[in-house]
Amino acid sequence: MEESATSSVKLRDRALEVLRSVFGYDGFRHEQAAIIERVASGGDALVLMPTGGGKSLCYQIPALLRDGMGVVVSPLIALMKDQVDALRQAGVRAAYLNSTLTAFQAADVERDMRDGALDLLYVAPERLVAPRCLELLSRCKLALFAIDEAHCVSQWGHDFRPEYLKLQILHERFPGVPRIALTATADRPTRSDIIERLSLGGAAVFAASFDRPNIRYHVVAKTSSKTQLINFLEAEHPADAGIVYCLSRRKVEEVAEWLCAKGRVALPYHAGLDAAIRERNQDRFLKEEAVIVVATVAFGMGIDKPNVRFVAHLDLPKNVEAYYQETGRAGRDGLAANAFMTYGMSDLGTLLGFIDESDLEERQRRIERHKLSALLGYCETVTCRRKVLLGYFGENYDRACGNCDNCLHPPQVFDGVVMAQKALSAVHRTGERFGAGYLVDVLRGQLTDRMRQSGHHRLKTFGVGSDLEPKQWHSVFRQLVAQGHLEVDVEGHGGLKFGETGWAALRGEVPFVFRAKERSAGRRGGLRNDAAPGPAGSSAKDPLFQALRSLRSELAREQNVPPYVIFHDATLMEMVRRKPADLTAMSRVPGVGRRKLDRYGAIFVAAIAKLVT
């Protein structure tokens, strides 16, 4: 027992030394140390950790501590290249095998694998399970297998990929090699599926908090999404990099063009674009400052850019997991970031249509509908958004976060049972066939041609809601759908029909709390994110910070790598704060490891001295 404890201490000391010398940090965060010890000592692990929480260190450091080569299964080429570029900057022998390599380049990597000249190899799941690759790996000394984006193995997850199902062969073919599966988004059914499908029954499960305290959540009802977006950008992010998500390819291109007309650098990204254009736009986003990518969900998974200062959704994403993962691409460096969303009932109808037109089994369709309803509930909540978001993933968050729109500007609420009854009565008396726009006309007594033709102007409900504005009634209908009293009938024409609790709500048997007033977006919302130091703060405006960022960009262009693989913004800000005058002082700056100190230390010390003196 004493010998085991001593061995454990030595392993932790070695891990800490690697963290300091290679990556330039003085201490582990959260459960990183325990995860690294588990895998480095030969055990399997399932790691649930938010984006930006330091998942990659959980397999990179064990791979450097163990004999042999660590193999990282990654689904995206962009992520592989980013990770390998960053590791090489830190002095780690890393490479990737994917379709971007020529035959000669792939042969060089395979030779390095056989010769034991690699610490880490990144490979796509399709290539990994091919017989030729498995045979090659069987002749290599292997330190571990890391399965990144492990939720892709689950059909209950939000990004199922069939090729991930074949990864069980790693356990069968290499039983003595430890495996670590990692994901940032997995509810309880997905976690169980990961364990079962990857044969990780004996794995230790590490579930870190899903909270991203540096991200501020802001959700508004859609009026004019482009205008709401530009108000938000002008108020919060006049010169920052970010991602804007839209549901359709057409809207992606319209919004990108519109932002360019407003003076921003905005690039479209969707599956319908030529592959060369997509690659060029992604490359610009990674290597340039202040670039906005407007995209469908085809963009973003595996993007390692740490200084994305905002993620904006102009339409509803497909579920809470997708929303969490997509917003998690903001603020990976731990600095302040914003998640902004506009949404409307039409988004809900579109997404429900996607579900019903899919090839999914009926059970899975029900699950997807339930997940979409949970997202609408998040949008319409009058309580702390972070509490609702974390609660979805089974995490108890028992306080107000103070960093979401509802906490910063609590919405005015009151008992809305009578309004709910009026709205539900309009749905029932018109035959559960019409959308919210028409129902609002009924309630407000709008005598349109369509109303005369239908005869609904003779209903007892006609005009009973003339005291409320249209946007207030639209909010009532959204909240009724969010609470399950109404449903969108996608089999018809997108009209509203009663949900499970609709009749009970009509009879006044269930409570209904109504959000009284909608907030505006952007400058009128007063939601500037000061939750954590970030480029929107005073440090970013410092001439020294700007000079160091320009120096970093120049070095990155010379090497054709993204600037952040040289130093993160957070590291530059620490340089501004500490103003290191020599290499010893520079070595103490977080994010400056031994290799980067040797390579860039003197250059940055000289730049600081030039501006400080």
Confidence of residue 294 (pLDDT cuts 50, 70, 90): very high
The answer to whether 468 and 415 are in contact (CB under 8 A) is no
Query: What pLDDT does residue 524 have?
Result: 41
Is pLDDT above 80 for 483? no
In one-letter notation, the amino acid at residue 476 is: V
Q: What is the mean pLDDT of residues 419-428?
A: 94
Q: What is the distance between the alpha carbons of residues 531 and 309, in angstroms, rounded to a whole number? A: 13
Is pLDDT above 90 for 5? no
Q: What is the mean pLDDT of residues 120-126?
A: 94
Q: What is the distance between the alpha carbons of residues 87 and 154, in angstroms, rounded to a whole number? A: 29
The answer to whether 340 and 354 are in contact (CB under 8 A) is no
User: In CATH, what is the architecture of 2-207?
Assistant: 3-Layer(aba) Sandwich (3.40)
Lowest mean pLDDT among 64-78, 331-345, 364-378, 389-403: 364-378
Q: What is the mean pLDDT of residues 418-433?
A: 93
Kindly report the number of other CB atoms within 10 A of residue 430's CB atom: 19
The answer to whether 211 and 386 are in contact (CB under 8 A) is yes
Q: Helix (H, G, I), strand (E, B), or coil: what is residue 406?
A: helix
Instruction: Report the half-sphere exposure of 270 (CA within 13 A, side-chain side).
Output: 18
**Mean of all residue pLDDT scores within the chain:** 88
The answer to whether the pTM exceeds 0.85 is no
How would you label 270-282 residue by residue, b for 16+ Cβ within 10 Å and e otherwise? beebeeeebeebb
Rg of the chain over Cα atoms, rounded to whole angstroms, equals 26
**CA 365 to chain CA mean position, Å:** 23
Q: What is the mean pLDDT of residues 581-610?
A: 96
Is pLDDT above 80 for 429? yes
Residues of the chain with CATH 3.40.50.300: 2-207, 215-408
348 vs 272 pLDDT, higher one: 272
In the chain, the percentage of residues whose pLDDT exceeds 70 is 92
- 3-state helix/strand/coil string of 428-446: HHCCCCCCHHHHHHHHHCC
The closest alpha carbon to 331, from 249, 218, 224, 243, belongs to 243
Q: Helix (H, G, I), strand (E, B), or coil: what is residue 489?
A: strand
Q: Which residues contact 301 (CB under 8 A, 6 or more apart)?
A: 75, 76, 79, 149, 159, 325
Confidence of residue 2 (pLDDT cuts 50, 70, 90): low
Report phi then psi at 206, rounded to 5: -115, 115
User: In CATH, what is the architecture of 215-408?
Assistant: 3-Layer(aba) Sandwich (3.40)
- 3-state helix/strand/coil string of 184-243: CCCCHHHHHHHHHHCCCCCCEEEECCCCCCCEEEEEEECCCHHHHHHHHHHHHCCCCCEE
Question: Helix 362-380 to helix 320-327 angle, to the nearest 10 degrees?
Answer: 60
154 vs 219 pLDDT, higher one: 219
Across 110-178, where does the E strand assignment appear? Answer: 120-123, 142-147
Q: What is the mean pLDDT of residues 281-310?
A: 85
Kindly report the number of other CB atoms within 10 A of residue 590's CB atom: 15
Q: What is the distance between the alpha carbons of residues 506 and 293, in angstroms, rounded to a whole number? A: 45
Cross-strand bridge partners of residue 488: 496
Report phi then psi at 213, rounded to 5: -60, -20
Q: Which single residue is written with the structure tokens 């501006």?
A: 611
Q: What is the mean pLDDT of residues 387-401?
A: 85
In one-letter notation, the amino acid at residue 311 is: V
The answer to whether 194 and 165 are in contact (CB under 8 A) is no
The closest alpha carbon to 207, from 379, 394, 367, belongs to 394
Is pLDDT above 80 for 187? no
Q: What is the distance between the alpha carbons of residues 275 and 96, in angstroms, rounded to a whole number? A: 20
Confidence of residue 494 (pLDDT cuts 50, 70, 90): low
**CA 336 to chain CA mean position, Å:** 15
DSSP-derived pairing of the beta strands 94-97 and 69-73: unpaired
In the chain, the percentage of residues whose pLDDT exceeds 90 is 59
The CATH number assigned to the domain with range 413-518 reads 1.10.10.10
212 vs 158 pLDDT, higher one: 212
Question: Helix 32-40 to helix 2-18 angle, to the nearest 10 degrees?
Answer: 110
Confidence of residue 586 (pLDDT cuts 50, 70, 90): very high
- pLDDT tens digits for range 554-574: 999 999 989 999 999 999 999
In one-letter notation, the amino acid at residue 193 is: D
Q: What is the mean pLDDT of residues 173-188?
A: 88
Query: What pLDDT does residue 151 have?
Result: 86
Is pLDDT above 70 for 523? no
Confidence of residue 519 (pLDDT cuts 50, 70, 90): low
**CA 303 to chain CA mean position, Å:** 10
Confidence of residue 191 (pLDDT cuts 50, 70, 90): confident
Is pLDDT above 80 for 188? no
The answer to whether 312 and 445 are in contact (CB under 8 A) is no
Residues of the chain with CATH 1.10.150.80: 538-612
The answer to whether 528 and 592 are in contact (CB under 8 A) is no
Is pLDDT above 60 for 327? yes
Q: Which single residue is written with the structure tokens 């990518």?
A: 293
Query: What pLDDT does residue 528 have?
Result: 56
DSSP-derived pairing of the beta strands 242-245 and 142-147: unpaired
Report phi then psi at 526, rounded to 5: 60, 45
Query: Which burial class, exposed, middle or buried, applies to 188 when counting CB atoms under 10 A from its CB (0-12, 13-18, 19+)?
Result: exposed
The closest alpha carbon to 325, from 542, 569, 150, belongs to 150
The closest alpha carbon to 298, from 254, 243, 352, 361, belongs to 243
Is pLDDT above 50 for 535? no
Q: CA-CA distances (angstroms) from residue 435 to 220, 310, 329, 449?
A: 20, 33, 35, 17
Instruction: Report the half-sphere exposure of 338 (CA within 13 A, side-chain side).
Output: 29
Query: What pLDDT does residue 511 have?
Result: 84
Residues of the chain with CATH 1.10.10.10: 413-518
Cross-strand bridge partners of residue 46: 181, 205
Instruction: Please work out, in degrees rounded to the nearest 5, the angle formed at the alpha carbon of residue 240 by the alpha carbons of 239 and 244.
Output: 120
Q: What is the distance between the alpha carbons of residues 531 and 596, in angstroms, rounded to a whole number? A: 30
Is pLDDT above 70 for 149? yes
* Domain spanning 538-612: CATH superfamily: HRDC domain (1.10.150.80)
Q: What is the mean pLDDT of residues 592-601?
A: 96
Q: What is the distance between the alpha carbons of residues 103 and 440, in angstroms, rounded to a whole number? A: 63
Q: Which single residue is written with the structure tokens 């230790």?
A: 204
- pLDDT tens digits for range 539-557: 556 899 999 999 999 999 9
Is pLDDT above 90 for 75? no
